[in-house]
């Protein structure tokens, strides 16, 4: 049996920025590969279209035969995923789709793919493979989340592409997040539950691969505090450096911060999202307290941990004036490196339902749902104005003058300068993009 595992190219690559030059290793496809039982004696081909020279429908593969095409796609990659399915169906292959797109838009996906897996696939994908080889595949496999499966070691030798960072490993310890922010698609993907890998498994993955720098891709590293504590106690023994995502409230937990420092944490990606409390309250992120941002950022940094913040613009009380104040506020509270997105109403989220009910969606062409394109009518400005302010915000934040000021105050000047320069390169790409014209 020949199987192609594909990560469909999504719209984030349109800016041809640093993301296209270097990428942290994606483990979605090698996770799926690990779930294919050796009893099938399958010949597996992996194609990450975001970094591969040849995509899944290129001339390289046009004369080859595959029995099964398994595609993982985010929302904005769904158009490309459909193209892949159509191409391989015409050659007699069976097609399967999973990931955020399939989970959010199952009924739509069923129109284009032979089988749809919603939610986590660690349990349902092996079930599908068993049915497929027996000639009885189902049209749908539902979200099965739990801790009653044993992850298998990942074959990281399959990640050979030169565009991957070679010195960094990526790993997921806990897929879940206890928070229910109204714009976030993670809740639906994992049914609001945690899917935790054993600490022994995580440690063995790190030991086996011998890399000294790791990125935890968990949506919320502290989603299960007791588990995180046990994991960090083991990480201390490995003498590695690592980064992860967390909420700003970690700044109130000095026990955790000390343990993070001792176990090698050098940076946290923290979703500040807005400097307006009303905005945060409106998206069910009341646990973020804007009045404490500066104090908490300073506390985290005092443990030698850099703060990389994400912020969204286009929220309900945002104005042109409030957006233009952001670069100064970033410097005031002392964030090491900021990143910006446009709040995006992903299908299946309460925020999407709200905007659809209010008649504020500009398009339901999912290609544009990439967090860098305005796809709805903002309350306090035109959508075109918001798009221009998004571009301007990036450019204004990453002037050399501001970069130098931020680097001077950093505890980790080398790392910070590199991240700042990469972000500046990304920001400069926005200069050539004008008004978005949605295709009909």
The secondary element (H helix, E strand) that includes residue 242 is strand 241-246
Share in percent of the chain as helix, strand, coil (round to 5): 40, 15, 40
What DSSP string runs through 186-227? HHHHTTT---BPPHHHHHHHHHHH--SEEEE--S-TTSSHHH
Q: Report the SS3 class of residue 307.
A: strand
Listed in order, the ranges of the chain carrying CATH 3.40.50.280 are 2-141
Token pair belonging to 306: 């850099």
Torsion angle, CA of 111/114/118/123, rounded to 10 degrees? 180
Cβ neighbour number for residue 311 with a 10 Å cutoff: 22
Rounded Cα–Cα distance for residues 137 and 131 (Å): 5
Token pair belonging to 61: 């593969």
Rounded Cα–Cα distance for residues 210 and 200 (Å): 16
The answer to whether 272 and 339 have CB atoms below 8 angstroms apart is no
Spell out the per-residue pLDDT of the chain, length 440, in tens: 999 999 999 876 544 444 445 567 789 999 999 999 999 999 999 999 988 778 899 988 888 999 999 999 999 999 999 999 999 999 999 999 999 999 999 999 999 999 999 998 988 999 999 999 999 999 999 876 665 567 889 998 887 765 677 788 999 999 878 899 999 998 888 766 678 899 999 999 999 988 999 999 999 999 999 999 999 999 999 999 999 999 999 999 999 999 999 999 999 999 999 999 999 999 999 999 999 999 999 999 999 999 999 999 999 999 999 999 999 999 999 999 899 999 999 999 999 999 999 999 999 999 999 999 999 999 999 999 999 999 999 989 988 888 888 777 666 666 555 566 666 666 666 665 555 665 54
What is the dotted CATH code of the domain comprising 167-432?
A: 3.80.30.20
Rounded Cα–Cα distance for residues 177 and 145 (Å): 13
What is the pLDDT, as a whole number, of residue 24? 72
Query: What are the residue ranges of helices labelled H in 314-412?
Result: 320-324, 326-333, 350-357, 383-397, 400-408
Listed in order, the ranges of the chain carrying CATH 3.80.30.20 are 167-432
The secondary element (H helix, E strand) that includes residue 33 is helix 28-34
Annotation: CATH topology of 2-141 = Rossmann fold (3.40.50)
What is the pLDDT, as a whole number, of residue 17? 44
Q: What are phi and psi of 386, to 5 degrees?
A: -60, -40
Torsion angle, CA of 357/363/364/365, rounded to 10 degrees? -170
Rounded Cα–Cα distance for residues 438 and 440 (Å): 6
What is the pLDDT, as a whole number, of residue 15? 42
């Amino acid at each position: 049996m020949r199987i192609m595992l594909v990560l469909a190219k999504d719209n984030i690559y349109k800016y041809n920025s640093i993301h296209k030059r270097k990428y942290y290793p994606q483990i979605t496809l090698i996770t799926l590969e690990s779930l294919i039982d050796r009893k099938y004696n399958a010949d597996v081909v992996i194609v990450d279209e975001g970094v591969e020279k040849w995509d899944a429908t290129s001339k390289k593969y046009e004369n080859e035969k595959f029995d099964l095409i398994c595609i993982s796609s985010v929302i904005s990659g769904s158009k490309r995923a459909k193209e892949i399915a159509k191409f391989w169906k015409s050659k007699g292959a069976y097609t399967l789709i999973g990931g955020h797109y399939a989970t959010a838009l199952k009924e739509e996906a069923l129109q284009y793919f032979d089988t749809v897996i919603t939610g986590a696939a660690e349990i349902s994908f092996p079930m599908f493979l068993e049915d497929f080889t027996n000639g009885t595949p189902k049209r749908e496999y539902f979200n099965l989340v739990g801790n009653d499966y044993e992850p298998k070691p990942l074959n990281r030798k399959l990640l050979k592409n030169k565009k991957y960072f070679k010195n960094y490993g990526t790993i997921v310890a806990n897929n879940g997040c206890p928070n229910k922010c109204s714009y976030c698609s993670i809740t639906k993907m994992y049914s609001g539950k945690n899917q935790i890998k054993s600490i022994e498994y995580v440690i063995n993955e790190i030991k086996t691969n011998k890399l000294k720098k790791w990125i935890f891709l968990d949506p919320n590293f502290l989603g299960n505090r007791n588990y995180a504590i046990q994991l960090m106690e083991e990480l201390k023994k490995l003498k590695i450096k690592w980064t992860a995502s967390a909420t700003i409230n970690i700044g109130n937990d000095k026990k955790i911060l000390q343990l993070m420092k001792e176990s090698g944490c050098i940076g946290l990606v923290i979703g500040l999202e807005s400097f307006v409390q009303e905005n945060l309250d409106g998206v069910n992120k009341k646990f973020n307290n804007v009045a404490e941002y500066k104090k908490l950022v300073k506390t985290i940094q005092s443990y030698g941990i850099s703060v990389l913040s994400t912020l969204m613009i286009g929220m309900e009380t945002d104005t042109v004036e409030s957006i233009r104040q952001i670069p100064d506020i970033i410097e005031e509270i002392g964030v090491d490196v900021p990143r910006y997105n446009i709040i995006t109403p992903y299908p299946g989220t309460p925020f999407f339902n709200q905007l659809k009910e209010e008649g504020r969606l500009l398009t339901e062409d999912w290609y544009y749902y990439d967090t860098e394109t305005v796809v709805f009518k903002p309350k306090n400005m035109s959508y075109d104005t918001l798009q221009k302010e998004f571009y301007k915000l990036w450019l204004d934040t990453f002037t050399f003058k501001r970069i130098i000021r931020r680097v001077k105050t950093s505890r980790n000047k080398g790392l910070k300068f590199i991240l700042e320069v990469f972000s500046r390169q990304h920001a400069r790409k926005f200069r050539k993009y004008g008004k978005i014209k949605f295709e009909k």
